[in-house]
């Protein structure tokens, strides 16, 4: 399927670095190489979700979590400009790589594991039966994660597994792609429960997950995709929160970490850029959450916020963020990009590179699993269970805030959950804040809610060109409409 799949996607422009994968003929002659091919698939996905040339950096600025005060090479500045505009989906666009390389990389990783499964189902044994069963479980896991990440970011895509006839592919909606991701993750969970193994070195750098732990990670991903795939608040209400609760209760028992190595093999440019205060600053909206008396936006006439520094009972204002007295940006970039605050939670990670990190990062903190469970409990009628999780978690342990009172309303508990998600999951993984803002109708009007199929792909398939964002597409589904629900300082006190 490798050659067929790449032919369908016409990847003459394929720039995914994958030097560890042998050529197709050698793969089929040496079944043991299939293990290495399968093992490399997750690295490709993770790197695509955190890449400089992917959607993670634009999404964090589109969500008003960070601002991009200098440069425009990644599309961050253009995508987060105000008022929001359309996405340039043409092939010559200098930032066309944002959806193109993400699309290519994740579909390529999917193609890799599909090829491995084809060989296994054709009778190939990888080393021995136990190893073969481990590889199968892993491939199901990758199928779920790949389809899930395509669903979160793209308007539509193709559902492709080891049984697919590539000559009869049909477009599937983001909702259908998300449902498919859950199907494959369920298959992975079942396979992990039926086998006993430890993943080989390198499949996840710095972690050798057992079958039980891989099953927990698959449960976590299933919950994450269910929670994050809604395009608006109406869709969010239809989420099966009972399923989310079950997945979370079988999910992460500890932080899921990756040992990133700068620009070498496992690369997080998202966290790297977030710490580069000369290029990116924390949006004042986030600081306003910790100090409601602090303006959520710079004055449109250029007048600096007064006071210039925020104060908060939340200890994370000091531990995770840093105040700077100057702003290295031009007013021509838009005062909405101005902020005195930078992100500084993990300064030790920046010792090896200026825009990438080195070190063990909890890309999916256990707090994310806990907060999804708390939300699921609240939405299924168990407020006391939700309160127990919140009061035992980061709100108190890192923030030093008082526990929520048992008399808190459902809305107050929900706001506390989103508050913790904002601070604790900041810059760790692709789009978490954006997906939260999207499913609450909190994104600015005109903001792209997902990316169109890349223009190069449309041309290769002979399909009509289209784009989204601004006023292109369906309001509230393809771009944020006028229902901007965020109750921020500048909404209360417009200027």
Burial class (CB in 10 A: 0-12, 13-18, 19+), 381: exposed
What secondary structure, in 3-state letters, does the chain show? Answer: CHHHHHHHCCHHHCCCCCCCCCCHHHHHHCCCHHHHHHHHHHHHHHHHHCCCCCCHHHHHHHCCCEEECCCCCCCHHHHCCCCCCECCCCCCCCCCHHHHHHHHHHHHHHHHHHHHHHHHHCCCCCCCHHHHHHHHHHHHHHHHHHHHHHHHHECEEECCCCCCCHHHCCEEEHHHHHHHHHHHHHHHHHHHHHCCCECCCCCECCECCEHHHHHHHHHHHHHHHHHHCCCCHHHHHCCCHHHHHHHHHCCCCCCEEEEEECCCCCCCHHHHHHCCCCCEEECHHHHHHHCCCCCCCCCCCCCCCCCCCCCCCCCHHHHCEEECCCCCCCHHHCHHHCCCEEECCCHHHHHCCCCCCEEEEEEECHHHHHHHHHHHHHHCCCHHHHHHHHHCCHHHHCCCCCCCCCCCCHHHHHHHHHHHHHHHCCCCCCCHHHHHHHHCCCCCCCCECCECCCHHHHHHHCCCCCCCECCECCECCCECCCCCCCCCHHHHCCC
Query: Are residues 11 and 51 located together in one domain of the fold?
Result: yes
For residues 94 and 25, state if they share a domain. yes
Q: What is the predicted pLDDT for the residue at 263?
A: 93
- Residues 7, 94, single domain; the answer is yes
> What distance in Å separates the CA atoms of residue 333 and residue 298, rounded to the nearest whole number?
13
- Does 360 fall in a domain? no
Q: Within this chain, do residues 328 and 464 fall inside the same structural domain, yes or no?
A: no
Sort 246 into a burial class: Cβ within 10 Å, 0-12 / 13-18 / 19+: middle
Q: What is the pLDDT of residue 112?
A: 96
Going from the first residue of the chain to its last (495 residues), give the mean pLDDT of each consecutive group of 10, the final group possibly shorter.
37 36 51 91 98 95 90 78 91 93 97 96 94 98 98 98 94 98 98 98 96 98 98 97 98 98 95 92 96 90 91 98 93 92 94 88 98 98 98 98 97 98 98 97 94 96 94 95 66 48
| Whole-number Å distance between alpha carbons of 57 and 51 | 8
Evaluate whether residue 262 is within a structural domain. no
d(CA 181, CA 168): 20
Residue 167 lies in a domain: yes
Residues 63 and 148 in one domain: yes
Of 359, 368, 365, the closest CA to residue 389 belongs to 368
- 239 shares its domain with 331: no
In this prediction, residue 6 carries a pLDDT of: 37
Give pLDDT, residue 20. 35
**68 occurs within a structural domain:** yes
| Closest residue by Cα to residue 154 from 412, 450, 437 | 450
Residues 13 and 137 in one domain: yes
For residue 151, being part of any structural domain is answered with yes
Q: Which domain, by its residues, includes 302? A: 276-345
In the listed set 311, 345, 379, which residue is the last one of a domain according to the structure? Answer: 345
Residue 390 lies in a domain: no
Q: Are residues 92 and 215 in the same domain?
A: yes
Together in a domain, 68 and 207: yes
CA distance 319 to 335: 26
Q: What are phi and psi of 133, to 5 degrees?
A: -65, -35
> What domain count does the chain have?
2
Q: Which of 312, 345, 378 is the last residue of a domain?
A: 345
Tell me: do 125 and 47 sit in the same domain. yes
Question: Is there a domain that residue 270 lies in?
Answer: no
**321 and 453 both lie in a single domain:** no
Domain boundary among the residues 330, 345, 360 is at: 345
Q: What is the CA radius of gyration of the chain?
A: 22
90 and 27 in a common domain: yes
pLDDT of residue 388: 98
User: Phi-psi region for residue 345, left (φ > 0), alpha (ψ -120 to 50) or beta?
Assistant: alpha
Q: Does residue 280 belong to any structural domain of this protein?
A: yes
**Number of neighbours of residue 335 by Cβ within 10 angstroms:** 18
331 CB contacts (<8 Å, ≥6 apart)? 302
- Measured between alpha carbons, how far is 60 from 426 in angstroms, rounded to an integer? 9
């Amino acid at each position: 399927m490798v050659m067929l799949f790449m032919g369908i996607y016409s990847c003459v422009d394929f720039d995914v670095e994958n030097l560890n994968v042998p050529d197709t003929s050698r793969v089929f002659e040496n079944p043991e190489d299939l293990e290495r091919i399968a093992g490399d698939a997750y690295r490709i996905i993770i790197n695509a979700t955190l890449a400089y040339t992917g959607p993670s950096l634009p999404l964090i600025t589109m969500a008003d979590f960070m601002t991009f005060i200098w440069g425009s090479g990644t599309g961050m500045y253009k995508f987060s400009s105000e008022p929001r505009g359309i996405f340039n989906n043409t092939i010559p666009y200098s930032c066309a790589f944002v959806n193109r390389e993400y699309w290519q990389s994740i579909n390529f990783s999917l193609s890799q594991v599909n090829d491995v499964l084809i060989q296994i189902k054709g009778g190939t044994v990888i080393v021995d039966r136990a190893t073969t069963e481990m590889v199968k479980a892993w491939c199901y896991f990758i199928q779920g994660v790949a389809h899930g990440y395509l669903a979160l970011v793209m308007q539509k895509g193709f559902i492709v597994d080891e049984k697919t006839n590539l000559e009869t592919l049909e477009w599937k909606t983001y909702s259908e792609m998300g449902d498919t991701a859950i199907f494959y993750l369920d298959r992975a969970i079942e396979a992990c429960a039926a086998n006993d193994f430890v993943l080989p070195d390198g499949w996840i750098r710095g972690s050798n997950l057992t079958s039980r732990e891989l099953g927990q990670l698959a449960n976590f991903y299933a919950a994450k995709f269910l929670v994050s795939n809604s395009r608006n608040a109406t869709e969010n209400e239809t989420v099966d929160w009972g399923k989310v609760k079950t997945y979370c209760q079988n999910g992460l028992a500890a932080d899921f970490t990756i040992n990133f190595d700068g620009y070498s093999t496992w690369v997080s440019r998202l966290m790297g850029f977030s710490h580069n205060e000369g290029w990116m600053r924390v949006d004042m909206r986030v600081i306003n959450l910790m100090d409601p008396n602090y303006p959520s936006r710079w004055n449109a006439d250029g007048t600096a916020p007064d006071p210039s520094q925020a104060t908060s009972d939340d200890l994370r204002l000091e531990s995770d963020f840093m105040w700077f007295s100057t702003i290295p940006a031009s007013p021509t970039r838009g005062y909405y990009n101005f902020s005195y605050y930078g992100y500084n939670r993990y300064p030790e990670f920046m010792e090896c590179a200026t825009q990438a990190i080195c070190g063990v990062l909890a890309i999916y903190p256990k707090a994310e699993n806990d907060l999804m469970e708390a939300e699921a409990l609240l939405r299924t009628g168990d407020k006391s269970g939700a309160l127990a999780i919140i009061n035992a978690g980061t709100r108190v342990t890192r923030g030093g805030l008082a526990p929520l009172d048992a008399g808190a309303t459902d809305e107050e508990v929900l706001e506390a959950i989103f508050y913790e998600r904002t601070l604790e999951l900041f810059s760790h993984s692709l789009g978490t804040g954006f997906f939260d803002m999207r499913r609450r109708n909190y994104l600015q009007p005109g903001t792209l809610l997902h990316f169109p199929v890349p223009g190069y792909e449309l041309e290769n398939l002979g399909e009509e060109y289209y784009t989204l964002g601004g006023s292109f597409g369906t309001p509230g589904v393809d771009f944020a409409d006028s229902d901007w629900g965020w109750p921020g300082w500048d909404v209360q006190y417009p200027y």
